Amino acid sequence: MDTPTRECCALTDCPWCGRTDLVCHYCDGRGRWSPERPVTDGNGMITWARAEEQCRMCAGTGKEHRHLPLD
């Protein structure tokens, strides 16, 4: 069973997880992102590879989590 997004992040009573009108702009609400990361090929050459992982900005919830407090 593949769960696309988690319901909440690690915070209890997270004000961001309680909102459904804001999607994470890093992963567009998918809860997954594919950042490019540098990989060395053994000869000192750096190439870029895509790796899909859980979005770190929203902890996989797909909901916007900014560092600014809500007002």
Nearer to Zn ion, 22 or 26 (CB): 26
Mind giving me the DSSP string for 40-68? Answer: E-SSS-EEEEE--EE-TTTTTS-B---SS
Minimum distance of Zn ion from residue 52's CB (angstroms): 12
Nearer to Zn ion, 37 or 39 (CB): 37
In the complex, minimum distance from the CB of residue 44 to Zn ion, in angstroms, rounded to a whole number: 34
Nearest distance in Å: CB 1, Zn ion: 21
Residues that bind Zn ion (CB under 5 A): 9, 14, 16-17, 24, 26-27, 55, 57-58
d(CA 29, CA 57): 11
